[in-house]
Each structure stands twice: as C-alpha cells, then as structure tokens.
C-alpha cells in the first residue's frame, strides 16, 4: 500500500482535521496535525506572539491572523520536511 503522506489544505474551520482523522482511521495510517506545531515553526521564522497580540488588540482578529499567516509557508515547509 502506498504510504505517501496525504496533505489536506484549506481555510480555517473547513473540516480538515475532522476529515483527516477519519481518513487516517479508515486507512490505518497515523494522523498528524500542523495545528499543534505551527506556532513553534513560525517562531523560528520570526513570528512574535507579542507583536501578534498588539496587532489583534489594535486592529482586530483578522489583522492578527493576517500577521500570523505570513509565517505559514515556512511552518508548512518545515512540517513536511520532518
């Protein structure tokens, strides 16, 4: 059986984790989520939680998310490399 990773990509709250867990269970494969690791990987790329908090406070949740989003590419690349 092919053991290549299956990667689900999509917007927030689209159901990626739910579908991923069900798919992994059905296929008998491990499920690993970037959710728990993303901030750690993003910090290495320069993400700063204090900056994010200040942006959220001054400009709202979407602005804070937009700041965080600029580090996602690095986080995903690192996640897949490991």
| pLDDT value at residue 3 | 81
With 0-12 CB in 10 A as exposed, 13-18 as middle and 19+ as buried, what is 75? buried
Is the Cβ–Cβ distance between 16 and 8 less than 8 Å? Answer: yes
pLDDT over threshold 90, residue 16: yes
Averaged pLDDT, 17-32 = 94
Instruction: Parse the chain into domains and list their residue ranges.
Output: 1-33, 35-81
The model's confidence at residue 62, banded by pLDDT at 50, 70 and 90, is very high
| pLDDT value at residue 58 | 97
Residue 32 Ramachandran class (φ > 0 left, ψ -120 to 50 alpha, else beta) = beta
What does the H/E/C string look like for 15-40?
A: CHHHHHHHHHHHHCCCCCCCCCCHHH
The model's confidence at residue 39, banded by pLDDT at 50, 70 and 90, is confident
């Amino acid at each position: 059986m092919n053991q290549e990773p299956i990667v689900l990509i999509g917007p927030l709250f689209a159901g990626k984790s739910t579908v991923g867990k069900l798919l992994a269970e059905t296929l008998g494969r491990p499920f690993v989520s970037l959710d728990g690791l993303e901030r750690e990987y993003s910090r290495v790329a320069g993400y700063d939680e204090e900056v994010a908090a200040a942006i959220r406070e001054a400009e709202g949740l979407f602005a804070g998310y937009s700041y965080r989003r600029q580090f996602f590419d690095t986080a995903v690349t690192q996640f897949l490399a490991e």
